[in-house]
Amino acid sequence: MLGAALCAVQLSAQPKLTADNIEEVLGAMTLEEKAELCVGLIHYAPPAAGSRNYVPGAAGNTKAIPRFGIPSTVLPDGPAGIRIDPTREGSDRTYYGTGFPVGTAIASSWDVDLVENMTAAMGNEVLEYGADVILSPAMNIHRNPLCGRNFEYYSEDPVLTGKIGAAYIRGIQSNGVGTSVKHFAVNNQETNRHENDSRVDTRALREIYLKGFEIAIKEAGPWTVMSSYNKLNGEYTQQSYDLLTRILRDEWGFDGIVMTDWGSKEGTVKAAAAGNDLMMPGNETEVQRLIDAVKSGELPEADLDRNVKRMLEYIVKTPHFKGYKYSDAPDLKAHAKVARAAATESMVLLKNEDGVLPLKGTEKVALFGISSVDFVAGGTGSGNVNKAYVVNMVQGLENAGFTLVESLKDFNQKYVDFQKLNMRIGGESILLGESKVPETGLSKTYINSLVPESDLAIVVIGRNAGEGGDRRVDNDFNLTETERQLLNDVTTAYHLAGKKVVAVMNIGGVIETASWKNLADAILLAWQPGQEGGDAVADVLTGKVNPSGKLPMTFPVAYMDHPSSYNFPTGLETPGRRGRNGSEGVKNWDYTDYAESIWVGYRWFTTQDKAVSYPFGYGLSYTTFEYSKPVVKADRDGNITASVTVTNTGKVAGKEAVQLYVAAPAGGMEKPARELKAFDKTKLLAPGESETLTFSITPYELASFNIDANEWETAAGSYTFYFSKNVNDLSTSAKVSLKKAGSYEVTDAYAHIK
Ligand code: GLC
């Protein structure tokens, strides 16, 4: 009796966690409880199946501590939609997530409102499927075209990356659930991703690789940040006080929690001290390390208490803590419409000779390319969504009323079915996804025989890639010989008959285009447009939607035109040699030299005036736009406002993404010819309609990083503002002078690294 009474007294004496008594709860927690809260729940012992804290297929959970009313919280992937198991034991229903367009696609929309609207729908699925934080956005810079996870990421440019990431975070978090900005930081290859050391100078680190994170974190306040697997200048990012405390918190004011990526390393204690609050997915060894370290004095308990306090501040925000009664039934039909609309706004029209698009009067289409059937909605790995279906291009074109040449459609379907069976039997698989069926050849005779049966030919080129591996130059970045032959034979046959050919690229990352873009009459870059992809492609090909996407990265003439290609694991010059784990000196395996520094993407090509196949920011429309003479002025503090009026001078309604590039005054630090500092997209303008877009730029946003002085510096002098359709369009500009220079201090994190 006494024991029960004592226990009751003890229980009743427990402070139940609220948003207002965090210090009190912290003070009542045992060392074991503190350590457990800072380590993910070992997934081998998840919350009881069927409990409200267990979502099968979620990537991880945090630990519950019932005596304080602390629930386990649920953390699923991923950037293109919630990733959970689509079926559950004991349940006869399904739990599909909507497969939205991938990160690179939505960045191609250059439309922050569209992205926020799309992720508001995605965040609703996080809430209604009983989760608390989605492990996205993924925002690493496209340093090199061959990074296997570029499809998840946005751009070669940090401003586009940061603004799109901020919009993504706002949309998700508008549902009262959290995000996890990843992979922080300088995680730009998949080869040896757990151990590779990214060696980068301080200027490139701050101007290129951290700037996107800085913008998104300052503008949108993500609940969490995920540190990356890799090292940065010799130290694991998850164990770097410089990165996780000095820069992320002391400089940028981040006040959420930092979790590791999904893999435990030896340095648990160093990570906790550095400000990595949560070790995911978590195991008992890590709990014990923290307990032992506090007991031995290696880890000051104040450091652990700091992390636990941040964990408690995170937990009180979560739907699980608030006892949200989730439905397990988000409106997937409504979200499918959102996904389709976002996909159409993300597609980029690269070529449209003689206005072959939008298709008019076309009835019968010869649809070439096995990717028309094996259509890629999104990349592989944790960024892959367990979706109910994918609308491929056969279905999309037929849904739009086209008649497809039957024999070709049947051949492609049967070939893909056989190859996938063959791969499955062969055990060929990539991390969390299906290998791509390679293109097959068709005889010239057969191709020629289809010409009389069809009004037009469409050739689909597909690519897939994902987590855990980088892409290759041959037969990946470059076309396969079979693809090249197919394009040649189809265009020869159809052009001989005076008929047109449209190429559609269903890819997740840049491929070579210069050698073949002259063949097709029109080229549509569909990206990996999500589960509604085939219908979205048809919406654009038919003109139901006027394409308004623009490239978020450069399409170079050749792979080696990128300076980073000389220091990339699967590049031609320096094929990555697999060192043993724990090896030290294997280039692009144990370490990767970011020798190109800030010269990434268009910064290199414009400054060197080097030809590209398609420039950063490039994209056509079915209409035309004219820009007025811009107005640019600076107030006495150097804050700049700029405006330009855009007029639709064509015959159909359309949207225009206007890019604002700035050329800094000559002299002083070496700087890129011009850099993107802002962008905006018009509403849908009717023919003849105009809209004035206004931009605000602060002197800090114009600053470059001076390694010697270890500070940001904005030079005084004359700046040229370009209002552009793409990075090489310099037709509309204005100058503005900054009378006084500015400088902005930072901590000594990674100081003076050249
Ligand atoms: C993976 C990925 C990360 C993902 C996590 C959970 O290794 O790097 O992006 O969120 O593990 O699946």
How far apart are the C-alpha atoms of 543 and 347, rounded to whole Å? 13
| Assigned CATH for 2-85+95-322 | 3.20.20.300
Q: Distance, CA 261 to ligand 1 centroid (Å)?
A: 6
Q: Take residue 513 and report the two structure tokens written for it.
A: 């285009």
Residue of 111, 261, 539, 590 marked active site = 261
Q: Is the pLDDT confidence value at 8 over 60?
A: no
Q: Distance, CA 59 to ligand 1 centroid (Å)?
A: 8
Give residue 437's pLDDT.
Answer: 87
- The CA R_g of the chain, rounded to the nearest whole Å, is 27
Segment 734-747 shows an average pLDDT of 97
Give residue 13's pLDDT.
Answer: 65
**Cβ 569 vs Cβ 576: under 8 Å:** yes
* pTM as predicted: 0.97
Give residue 417's pLDDT.
Answer: 94
135 C-beta closer than 6 A to ligand 1:
yes
Q: Is the pLDDT confidence value at 256 over 50?
A: yes
Query: Computed from CA positions of residues 553, 556, 559, 564, in that sequence, does the dihedral angle turn out positive or negative?
Result: negative
Please give the biggest Cα pair distance in the chain: 97
Atom of ligand 1 nearest to the CA of 136: 10
25 C-beta closer than 6 A to ligand 1:
no
Q: Take residue 428 and report the two structure tokens written for it.
A: 């060929």
Ligand 1 atom 8 nearest Cα: 261
382 C-beta closer than 6 A to ligand 1:
yes
Give residues with Cβ within 8 angstroms of 2, minimum separation 6. Answer: none
Ligand 1 atom 9 nearest Cα: 382
Segment 372-393 shows an average pLDDT of 97
Give residue 43's pLDDT.
Answer: 57
Ligand 1 atom 7 nearest Cα: 262
Q: Distance, CA 527 to ligand 1 centroid (Å)?
A: 22
Segment 510-522 shows an average pLDDT of 98
Q: Take residue 315 and report the two structure tokens written for it.
A: 């937990």
Give residue 752's pLDDT.
Answer: 96
Q: Distance, CA 383 to ligand 1 centroid (Å)?
A: 8
Q: Distance, CA 118 to ligand 1 centroid (Å)?
A: 22
- One-letter amino acid at 716 equals A
- Check residues 468 and 50 and name the one with the higher pLDDT: 468
Q: Is the pLDDT confidence value at 495 over 70?
A: yes
Under the banding of pLDDT at 50, 70 and 90, the label for residue 426 is confident
- One-letter amino acid at 92 equals D
Average pLDDT of the chain? 95
- The string of pLDDT tens digits covering residues 517-537 is 999 999 999 999 999 999 999
- The string of pLDDT tens digits covering residues 162-196 is 999 999 999 999 999 999 999 999 999 999 999 99
59 C-beta closer than 6 A to ligand 1:
yes
Instruction: Report DSSP letters for 552-606, one per residue.
Output: SS-EESSGGGSGGGGG-TTSSSSPPP-PPTT----BTTTEEE-TTTT--THHHHH
Ligand 1 atom 1 nearest Cα: 262
Give residue 483's pLDDT.
Answer: 98
Top mutation candidate among 75, 77, 149 for ligand 1, by most atoms within 8 Å of CB: 77
Q: Distance, CA 459 to ligand 1 centroid (Å)?
A: 34
Give residue 7's pLDDT.
Answer: 55
Give residue 33's pLDDT.
Answer: 97
Segment 16-40 shows an average pLDDT of 98
Q: Is 705 helix (H, G, I), strand (E, B) or coil?
A: strand
Q: What fold is seen in the domain 342-554?
A: Rossmann fold (3.40.50)
Under the banding of pLDDT at 50, 70 and 90, the label for residue 566 is very high
The proportion of the chain whose per-residue pLDDT surpasses 70, expressed as a percent, equals: 94
182 C-beta closer than 6 A to ligand 1:
yes
- The string of pLDDT tens digits covering residues 129-138 is 999 999 999 9
Ligand 1 atom 4 nearest Cα: 382
Under the banding of pLDDT at 50, 70 and 90, the label for residue 3 is low
Ligand 1 atom 5 nearest Cα: 262
Eight-state DSSP code of residue 70? B
Give residue 436's pLDDT.
Answer: 82
Atom of ligand 1 nearest to the CA of 180: 10
Other residues' Cβ atoms within 10 Å of the Cβ of residue 10: 10
- Check residues 715 and 264 and name the one with the higher pLDDT: 715
Locate tokens 């006040």: which residue? 255
Give residue 573's pLDDT.
Answer: 45
Give the HSE-up count for residue 469: Cα atoms under 13 Å, Cβ half-sphere.
Answer: 15
Top mutation candidate among 152, 181, 262, 386 for ligand 1, by most atoms within 8 Å of CB: 262
Give residue 47's pLDDT.
Answer: 63
Q: Tally DSSP H helices, then E strands, for the chain.
A: 19, 29
Atom of ligand 1 nearest to the CA of 135: 10
Termini Cα distance of the chain: 71
Give residue 434's pLDDT.
Answer: 67
The proportion of the chain whose per-residue pLDDT surpasses 90, expressed as a percent, equals: 90
Atom of ligand 1 nearest to the CA of 228: 8
Nearest to 200 by CA among 192, 190, 189: 189
261 C-beta closer than 6 A to ligand 1:
yes
Give residue 46's pLDDT.
Answer: 59
Q: Is the pLDDT confidence value at 309 over 90?
A: yes
Under the banding of pLDDT at 50, 70 and 90, the label for residue 41 is confident
Q: Is the pLDDT confidence value at 580 over 80?
A: no
Under the banding of pLDDT at 50, 70 and 90, the label for residue 380 is very high
Distance between alpha carbon 311 and the CA centroid of its chain, in Å? Answer: 26
Q: Is 261 a catalytic residue?
A: yes
Q: Take residue 464 and report the two structure tokens written for it.
A: 């897939």
Segment 66-82 shows an average pLDDT of 96
Give residue 50's pLDDT.
Answer: 65
Segment 571-579 shows an average pLDDT of 54
Nearest to 349 by CA among 732, 600, 624: 624
Segment 331-352 shows an average pLDDT of 98
Segment 313-334 shows an average pLDDT of 97
CATH 3.40.50.300 fits 623-745, yes or no: no
238 C-beta closer than 6 A to ligand 1:
no
Q: Distance, CA 187 to ligand 1 centroid (Å)?
A: 12
Give residue 90's pLDDT.
Answer: 87
Segment 230-242 shows an average pLDDT of 98
246 C-beta closer than 6 A to ligand 1:
no
Q: Is the pLDDT confidence value at 301 over 90?
A: yes
Give residue 605's pLDDT.
Answer: 98
Q: Distance, CA 280 to ligand 1 centroid (Å)?
A: 10
Give residue 14's pLDDT.
Answer: 82
Neighbour order of strands in the sheet with 717-724: 675-681, 657-663, 717-724, 733-738
Q: Is the pLDDT confidence value at 211 over 90?
A: yes
Locate tokens 């927690």: which residue? 29
Segment 375-399 shows an average pLDDT of 97
Segment 665-690 shows an average pLDDT of 97
Q: Indicate the domain borders of the chain.
A: 2-85+95-322, 342-554, 560-612, 623-745
- The string of pLDDT tens digits covering residues 473-484 is 999 999 999 999
